[in-house]
Chains A and B, each alone.
Chain A
Amino acid sequence: MYEGAVQDLIDELGRLPGVGPKSAQRIAFHLLAAESTDVGRLVAALQRVQAEVRFCVTCHNVAETEQCRICRDPRRTLDVICVVEEPKDVVAIERTREFKGRYHVLGGAISPIEGIGPDDLKVKELMTRLMDGQVTELIIATDPNLEGEATAAYLARLVGPLGLAVSRLASGLPVGGDLEYADEVTLGRAFEGRRRIDA
């Protein structure tokens, strides 16, 4: 145990995800040895996150203004919405530079075992956005795991009567992988979703 302030810092750091007691101690001593301007920047960043970050009123992504950067961007098309679970997923899809529409962040996936049902997600908000008549296509990009697939099945059933084009991200073999190491479920899906090569 260290005295007062140092121990408090270690305890607080130790509460962060993935930080154990030893790592917390290492970070704390790194901060003690660091320049005061560096520490100042960290403190300012933490305070700004607390004070300024909120959720976009349209897509529920993290934002600094009422609407997020993507929803405000006039170059993004209005007719396609891509549904994702978390803000992290928006960043991942943005990195591909493949998608020019807008997003809708659900805030998780349906997981009855954790007590999370459709009412705990931004599903109603999605339905309101789809009702306005501008949207013609919905891309469901929830995680390719059990909860994500179930959420996709639920959304597809709910959106069905609206008559939109609904699609689900393809799943299959990872680029740069070996076929023999693929599991049966993934390989089966890759077969199901195979595409024709035009000669």
Chain B
Amino acid sequence: MSTTPQALYRDEGIVLRTQKLGEADRIVTVLTRRTGKVRAVAKGVRRTKSKFGARLEPFSHVDLQLYTGRNLDIVSQAESIRSYGTEIVGDYRAYTAGTAVLETADRLTVEEKEPSLRMFLLVVGALRTLAEGVKPAPLVLDAFLLRAMSVAGWEPALGDCARCGEAGPHRHFSVPAGGTVCPSCRPTGSAMPSPVTIELLEALLSGDWGRAEASLGTNRREGSGLVAALLQWHLERGLRSLPLVDRT
């Protein structure tokens, strides 16, 4: 199947963010299943009688019909598949974690219309978990961030040395090197996180929730710090939503 968008095309996606445009329009950024990241204009969406209504809010999983425009595409129809927003906004912790998920997905998919199915599935999974509210929101966020980094090609080394590949576990952790480092590769200023924290990150990356949920608060906090540092390092410009995540 060709992935080049036709004049009129249909795809499903998650709304990552919306920006106001003119009097009553919005630009919606959608991460779609087949087309990748798409920026499209939703005309008249801010009017109370808009046919789109609440369907094009962030966190919504929607089925879209779009026209290819010259610069931005245009949304012609939208149907909800599932709106994760309703459940997520009711819980402030899930909301702040969820916004960080959306911002990260937006920032890590640099090219528009470059299919990125793995990232799409990862975002859907993270939002579904946050909406269910069973697992702690900060852990869900960190698991998403670690996996999103590996989808983007920056999987952190959590066992072997990030530089020479010497089999681990290693005690030192260097953000610029991209994970744990062996004593001979260790750059000056590398951190020495607790080995339990590294195990927690490994569990989050591999999806071992039993081990992750058994972790202690101190390790979770240290882990979040390392994940945030790795992500900021790769993104160059920091995420705005990450400092506002409610980890209480």
Q: Which residues of A contact B (CB under 8 A)?
A: 18, 110-115, 117, 144-146, 149-150, 153-154, 157, 174, 177, 181-186, 188
Contact = CB atoms under 8 A, between A and B. Distances in A.
Contact of A113 (B17, B86, B90): B17
Interface in B69-126: 80, 83, 85-86, 89-92, 95-96, 99-100, 102-103
Given A113-B240, A117-B243, A174-B48, 10 more contacts: A112-B96, A115-B240, A146-B89, A185-B53, A185-B54, A185-B85, A185-B86, A186-B53, A186-B54, A188-B86
B245 A112 contact: yes
Contacts of A149: 85, 89-90
Interface residues of B, number: 32
B23 interface: yes
B241 interface: yes
Nearest to B246: A154
B51 interface: yes
B57 A145 contact: yes
A196 B244 CA distance: 41
A113 B102 contact: yes
Contacts of A181: 51
Contacts of B86: 185, 188
A197 B71 CA distance: 51
Contacts of A186: 53-54
Contact of B58 (A18, A115, A146, A184): A146
Contact of A112 (B22, B59, B90, B240): B240
Contacts of A188: 86
A181 B54 CA distance: 12
B80 A150 contact: no
B77 to A, nearest CB: 12
7 contacts: A112-B240, A113-B102, A115-B240, A117-B244, A144-B54, A157-B92, A181-B51
Interface string B224-248: 0000000000000000110111000
A183 B52 contact: yes
A188 B23 CA distance: 28
Contact of B95 (A145, A150, A182): A150
Contacts of B48: 174
Contacts of B58: 113, 146
A184 B80 CA distance: 7
A185 B83 contact: yes
Contact of B80 (A18, A111, A185): A185
A144 B57 CA distance: 11
Interface string B36-61: 00000000000011011111011100
B54 A183 contact: yes
Given A113-B103, A146-B59, A149-B89, A183 B53 contact: yes
A150 B55 contact: no
Nearest to A115: B240
A36 B212 CA distance: 73
Most central of A111, A113, A145, A186 by chain B CB within 10 Å: A113
A185 B244 contact: no
A132 B54 CA distance: 38
Given A117-B244, A146-B85, A150-B89, A112 B54 contact: no
8 closest cross-chain pairs (CB), A and B: A183-B53, A112-B241, A115-B240, A185-B54, A149-B89, A112-B244, A112-B99, A117-B244
B55 A183 contact: yes
A186 B241 CA distance: 27
Contacts of B22: 18
A25 to B, nearest CB: 18
Nearest to B240: A115
